[in-house]
Structure 1
Amino acid sequence: MMNLSQEQWWEKCQEDPNAVILDVRTEEEVEEVAIPGAINIDIYKGQGFLDEVEALDKSKNYYVYCKAGGRSNQACLLMGQLGFENTYNLLGGITEWEGPTVG
């Protein structure tokens, strides 16, 4: 897992052909604002979160974000325990995000 600044995270994501953007916020939060192309798996689902993440392709690189960086950090740690080798946490989350958004 790597913690990346907004600029590093977006630049690396854009250059990565294996990139998957993962939003670990609630559905309500996602409806307000989200990064385009992100898949949403709510970390508050507990075992449901683990089950959905386990089904993801472990060969991909995951760019993970939440509202402020705490839940995404936790998600990256959990994903590492599940065998994901490349997870990148967005420091500051979408609260500090200055890139493109939808919603």
Structure 2
Amino acid sequence: MKSITVAQLKAKLDAGEKINLIDVREPHEYAEANLGGQLVPLGKIQTMQLEDLEDLKEEPVYIHCRSGKRSAMACMVLDQVGFKETYNVEGGILDWIDKYGMPK
């Protein structure tokens, strides 16, 4: 697991980079505010329901949650099952909102 700040993530998104962004929050949290990532709640990752992510094993995967704790746990699980390059978004969506406001 590597780390990335919300500023680094925003720079990638602003540059139009195609990145694999995974949101590990719950559906109601995703509905309130999201960065456009794929919703895969942490519980699914912890119970190895990884079919939605299998094709990303060899690619960089950027994972975020509310504050960075659940995403760090998700990165650890994915690293253990063979994902090559996981990035935990430090501070999560709370840090994003603090720096840039609510995502559009």
Q: Fold match, TM over 0.5?
A: yes
- List gaps (5 residues or longer) in structure 2: none
Q: Counterpart of 1:67 in 2: which secondary structure?
A: coil
Q: Which amino acid aligns with 1:55?
A: E
Taking the TM superposition and a 5 Å limit, the aligned residue runs for 1:49-60 are: 50-52=48-50, 55-60=54-59
Q: Counterpart of 2:25 in 1: which secondary structure?
A: coil
Correspondence for 2:60: 61
Higher mean alpha-carbon deviation, 55-64 vs 77-86, is at 55-64
Q: Counterpart of 2:88 in 1: which secondary structure?
A: strand
Q: Distance in 2 between matches of 1:22 and 1:9?
A: 12
Instruction: Tell me, yes or no, if the aligned pair for 1:35 and 1:100 is still in contact at 8 Å.
Output: no
RMSD (Å) for aligned C-alpha atoms: 2.1
Q: Distance in 1 between matches of 2:62 and 2:101?
A: 14
Q: Deviations over 1:34-65 (max 9, x none)?
A: 002x1011113441xx2226634212211100
TM-score, normalization: structure 2? 0.80
Correspondence for 1:79: 78
Does 2:34 align with 1:34?
yes
- List gaps (5 residues or longer) in structure 1: none
Q: Distance in 1 between matches of 2:103 and 2:74?
A: 21
Does 2:12 align with 1:20?
no
| C-alpha distance 23-41 of structure 1, shift in aligned 2 (>3 A) | same
Q: Distance in 2 between matches of 1:60 and 1:22?
A: 13
**Equivalent pairs: percent with the same residue?**
29
Q: Which amino acid aligns with 2:5?
A: S
Deviation of 1:12 after TM superposition, in Å, equals 4.3
Q: Counterpart of 1:101 in 2: which secondary structure?
A: coil
